[in-house]
Structure 1
Amino acid sequence: MKLLTFNPFRTLGMPGISYVKPDHMFKKIDEIRASDVLLFPEKWQVNSLVYGLNKKIFPSIQSIQLGFDKIEMTRAFWSIKPDLMPYTEIAGSSKATVERILDTFPFPFVAKEVRSSMGKGVFLIRSREDFLAYAEQNDVLYVQEYLPIEKDLRVVYVGNTVVSAYWRIGGDSFHNNVAQGGKLSFHNIPDEALQLVDKTAKALGIDHAGFDVVYANGKYYFLEFNCLFGNQALVQQGIQIEKMIFNYLQEQFPPLVPPTTPYRHIS
């Protein structure tokens, strides 16, 4: 099986893998055509690779496209079950919409930029002024009820299984992300949350993601998932994610073996 990666840092140690810079994609089109599986393409490459060249990619097209955009991700969650996420509204930023949201959501509530990660682009709205400032900077409003939590659960899903899960605690008093100062805990991981992630990932066709899950109001909710997640906790656990990816690819895309008996033409 010929593997080609567009992101060498996420495929370190994989045997027999070649590398093409994303920007050189069309200069190296013959090398790409000759490969069996293409790993970690950038979002802008995906449609050309999957629909134009009919290539197999990893992560899956669902992982990349849904993980890139919170709106599409949220709608995908809604399609499975309406309450998989905290109450959320997605709307334009007209004055009428802004006023309606202010009338609907009690303070504090959460507003997010559509494309962000590591806790960036997520705002705790405490006042009318906070929301007006957010709305002025965003053409699409992504607004969510505030859940009073002190920690969230990151569940790492690779291939067709959960490979790691850990609590992120504390942080900067609102964000629990490790990038925002959150602390890690690998204890008391709830099976119910892991089962929810496994079921949802399989339903959506997600094969490489870090899911953010919280517990509030007596149930588990998804906040989002990131297709390209941090690996600090995985390193701390001694998990070699590249080996897991390689083994999964070997299972999913076994090398083509020529038939031992030649085909006979039957007239």
Structure 2
Amino acid sequence: MRLVTFDPFRTLGIPGVLYIKPEMIFSRRREIEEADWVLFPEYWQVNALVYGLKKRIFPSVSSYHLGHDKVEMTRALWAVFPEYVPHTLILPGGAESVEKILDEMTLPLVVKEVRSSQGRGVRLVETERELLAYAETNKILYVQERLPIDRDLRVVFVGEEVLTAYWRIGGEGNFYNNVARGARVSFEDIPEEVLRVVTTIARHFEINHAGFDVAFVDGRPYILEFNVLFGNQALRERKVPLEEKILEYLRKYTPTFPVTPNFPIKKVS
């Protein structure tokens, strides 16, 4: 099996992988075309690889397209799994949206930038003045209820299964539960309902490599977001064989997307 990667650090444990620098995608086209799989492209490469070169990529197309943008992610979840989404508003930026937010929701609120990870671009808004400042400096407003939690779950889904899950417990008075921001990790007492829901959602959307951030309130999981390229620190400490699981998946799986049309494709001469 011929494998090309654009991210050597995420494929260190996979043997025989050819690394190509992302900016050389077009000059190394022949090697890419000959590959059975292209691994961990950057987001800007996805459309060229999938729609242009008709390559199989890992993570999947839907993992990239939904995981790249919290608005698109949330709308997809609203369409199929609305019961697992916290109360969320997506509105145009500007002061006029503040009144609508305050009519529907109660301070404090969680506001997020559309594209961010590891807690960056996420903050707690406690006053109307802070909310107005956020509304005036963002073109798209992503506003979410603050859930009554002091921890959340990171569920790592790779291939077709949950690989591991752990609590991320923030320090006392700390709004953030991200490991990158000093949260404590615990692998104990993971609710089975969370694993079931994440598995159902990931399989439905054909997401095959993501770290799901999940709140668990009164027995119900709430999907806060998922990140295609998640941190591996806790996995390394736990000796989770991530690369082995990826390789096992690549060997047995043929993606259903992109779909080959039932008419012949002629190259333009």
For 1:177 and 1:15, the matched residues in 2 are separated by: 31
For 1:4 and 1:253, the matched residues in 2 are separated by: 16
* Partner residue, 2:39: 39
For 1:39 and 1:57, the matched residues in 2 are separated by: 6
* Partner residue, 1:84: 84
- Encode CA deviations 1:44-97: one digit per residue, 9 max, x unaligned: 110110011111000000011111100011011111122211000101013322
For 1:81 and 1:156, the matched residues in 2 are separated by: 19
Matched, 1:158 2:182: no
For 2:77 and 2:110, the matched residues in 1 are separated by: 18
* Partner residue, 1:29: 29
* 2:111 counterpart letter in structure 1: A
Query: What is the CA distance between 1:217 and its match in structure 2?
Result: 4.1
Matched, 1:219 2:220: yes
For 1:42 and 1:111, the matched residues in 2 are separated by: 26
* Partner residue, 1:126: 126
SS at match of 1:248: helix
More deviation, 51-60/212-221: 212-221
* Partner residue, 1:145: 145
For 2:9 and 2:180, the matched residues in 1 are separated by: 19
* 1:19 counterpart letter in structure 2: Y
For 1:70 and 1:97, the matched residues in 2 are separated by: 19
Query: What is the CA distance between 1:102 and its match in structure 2?
Result: 2.4
Which residues of structure 1 form unaligned runs of 5+? 255-267
Contact 2:93 2:137 in 1 (8 A): no
* Partner residue, 2:49: 49
Which residues of structure 2 form unaligned runs of 5+? 256-269
Q: Which protein has the larger Cα radius of gyration, Structure 1 or Structure 2?
A: 1
* 1:67 counterpart letter in structure 2: G
* 2:253 counterpart letter in structure 1: Q
SS at match of 1:83: helix
For 2:254 and 2:124, the matched residues in 1 are separated by: 44
* Partner residue, 1:197: 198
How many positions carry a matched residue from both structures? 254
Q: Which runs of 4 or more aligned residues in structure 1 lie more than 3 Å from their structure 2 counterparts after TM superposition?
A: none
For 2:27 and 2:166, the matched residues in 1 are separated by: 42
* Partner residue, 1:244: 245
Contact 2:97 2:135 in 1 (8 A): no
| C-alpha distance 230-104 of structure 1, shift in aligned 2 (>3 A) | same
* 1:180 counterpart letter in structure 2: R
* Partner residue, 1:103: 103
In percent, how many aligned pairs have the same letter? 54
TM-score by length of 1: 0.92
Query: What is the CA distance between 1:218 and its match in structure 2?
Result: 3.9
For 1:109 and 1:253, the matched residues in 2 are separated by: 42
Contact 2:5 2:41 in 1 (8 A): yes
Contact 2:95 2:136 in 1 (8 A): no
* Partner residue, 1:231: 232
For 2:112 and 2:184, the matched residues in 1 are separated by: 23
More deviation, 125-134/100-109: 100-109
* 1:49 counterpart letter in structure 2: L
TM-score by length of 2: 0.92
For 1:108 and 1:231, the matched residues in 2 are separated by: 31
* Partner residue, 1:66: 66
* 1:208 counterpart letter in structure 2: H
- Encode CA deviations 1:6-50: one digit per residue, 9 max, x unaligned: 000000021111011111111111111111100001111101100
Query: What is the CA distance between 1:253 and its match in structure 2?
Result: 4.5
Contact 2:95 2:132 in 1 (8 A): no
SS at match of 1:239: coil
Q: CA-atom RMSD, angstroms?
A: 1.3
